[in-house]
Chains A and B, each alone.
Chain A
Amino acid sequence: MGRPKIPRKSTAIDMTAMCDVAFLLLSFFILTTKFKPAEAIAVTTPSSVASKVAPDKDVVLVTIDPTGKVFLSMGDDKNDLAKKGELADEIMKTKGVTFDKQKFVKAHFWGCSFTQLPAYLNIPEENRKGNLLAGIPADSTKGGNEFGEWIALVKNVYVGSKMNLLLKGDNASKYPAFKSVIDAFKKNDLLKFQMVTNPESIPTGTELWKQSMKGEKREE
């Protein structure tokens, strides 16, 4: 048989180039991304054309979950932790409830009425999931707008210092929940707040698009 001999080729490929690519991508991802914050309350925020990045210092965050329950949280900075402690003292002083201050400070968010706070703080942190909790009563038709009192206390704590009031609402939450939160803000003369949204590109051909094309800086 005149079968030509095929030389056996090595199947080993030089992996250096691939290794380079892999580590280049890795370093890109490490540098451009940020770790997802642990979220006990599942919230999908709507998108807007606002381009200002949400602040992460001196934050007072109000979260509205899909069913309209309201939660309150504050930042985790050293400064914020001190404020949390002050808030705990305020609540104990004015509302006549006693609870573990340390646990109050450690909690990532609060979602119950003042009277339920001691019981709430006894729930282990990992079991404190948004859908299992009652939320701060904010609806004035049922149970009164206690959320307004929470905000009043928070405002007292932040007197004389900067406070970034953020509102993070879920796409599916109904307007009345949003309205009762706004009413609570209004009642406390907190007339400026920011809503957390996902970035979105400006639709082409609109006024804003024309402005940004011209290079005009827009007010946020």
Chain B
Amino acid sequence: MAEMDTSSGGGHKKGPGVKKGKKLSTRVDLTPMVDLGFLLITFFIFTTTMSQPTAMKLNLPKDADKPEDQNKAKESGALTVLLGKDNHVFYYEGIMDNSNASSKFKSANFGSGEDGLRMEIMRKKASTPDKDFVVVIKPGAECTYKNVVDALDEMSINDVKRYALVDISDVETKLIQLTEGAAAGAK
């Protein structure tokens, strides 16, 4: 060992015959790796979904065969919402008969603006005692599934405790058609 030390005594200089090791650069060109990364990102964006579907619970009431078994809603606290075609919404308060049909029957939309359904529900809710307040949703034959879900959603948004999904009556269907006909004529 001591001999070797003396032979390479001249500083860092290596003796003849010993090849000088070339210093290799450790830098790698990362461009292809970046390409690969972004390619995979685009793949994942296109094939996956971000949002998980949520579920909205709906409990149906049991059908009561006898009329006396059915829940009675107080007239003053009832708000009936009718769903027509093309996202039209109509509503009236209390009970409607032929004599007061035209004055009670009003139209609204699904928006949150001044003539929106939400405003109307909030107004009615504020003006009636909590235990009397009930919303009756009557979807017409022309309305879509989305309209029904939106209406039900409106119930949970406004924290309406009691609401019901009821079949529409012929009188109401006619009124909707009349109003929609008039609106189409006015255009």
Contacts and interface: CB of A to CB of B under 8 A. Distances in A.
Bound pair (A, B): yes
A180 to B, nearest CB: 12
B141 A176 contact: yes
B32 to A, nearest CB: 9
Interface string B88-131: 00000000000000000000000010000010001000000000
Interface in A156-185: 166, 169-179, 182, 185
B33 interface: yes
Instruction: Tell me if B's interface is mostly helix, strand, loop or mixed.
Output: mixed
A26 B150 contact: no
Contacts of A26: 37, 40-41, 44
Contacts of A12: 29
Interface stretch (B10-18, B51-59, B67-75): B51-59
Contacts, number: 177
A32 B41 CA distance: 12
Output the residue of A33, A64, A211 with the most chain B CB within 10 A. A33
Given A22-B37, A26-B41, A211-B159, A48 B143 contact: no
B66 interface: no
Given A34-B52, A49-B156, A193-B58, A171 B30 contact: no
B44 A15 contact: no
Contact of A46 (B31, B45, B57, B146): B146
Given A32-B50, A35-B47, A53 B55 contact: yes
A102 interface: no
B180 to A, nearest CB: 16
B58 A35 contact: no
Interface in A192-216: 192-200, 202-203, 206-209, 211
A22 B59 CA distance: 47
A5 interface: no
B140 interface: yes
Contacts of B56: 48, 50, 194-195, 197
Contacts of B159: 207-208, 211
A64 B34 contact: no
A199 B141 CA distance: 27
Interface residues on A, range: 35 or more
Interface string A5-24: 00000001011101100110
Contacts of B49: 33-36
B34 A22 contact: yes
Given A16-B30, A26-B41, A64-B145, A196 B157 contact: no
B177 interface: no
A173 B142 CA distance: 10
B60 to A, nearest CB: 4
A179 B145 CA distance: 9
Interface string A57-68: 000000010000
Contact of A22 (B38, B61, B118): B38
B55 A166 contact: yes
Nearest to A170: B145
A30 interface: yes
A45 interface: yes
A29 B48 contact: yes
Contact of B158 (A15, A25, A33, A207): A207
Given A50-B57, A174-B142, A198-B54, A23 B37 contact: yes
A178 B158 CA distance: 24
A136 B12 CA distance: 89
28 contacts: A15-B29, A15-B30, A22-B37, A26-B41, A35-B49, A46-B149, A48-B149, A50-B54, A53-B53, A54-B54, A172-B146, A174-B144, A175-B83, A175-B139, A175-B140, A177-B145, A179-B139, A192-B60, A194-B55, A195-B57, A197-B53, A197-B54, A197-B56, A198-B54, A200-B153, A203-B157, A208-B156, A218-B156
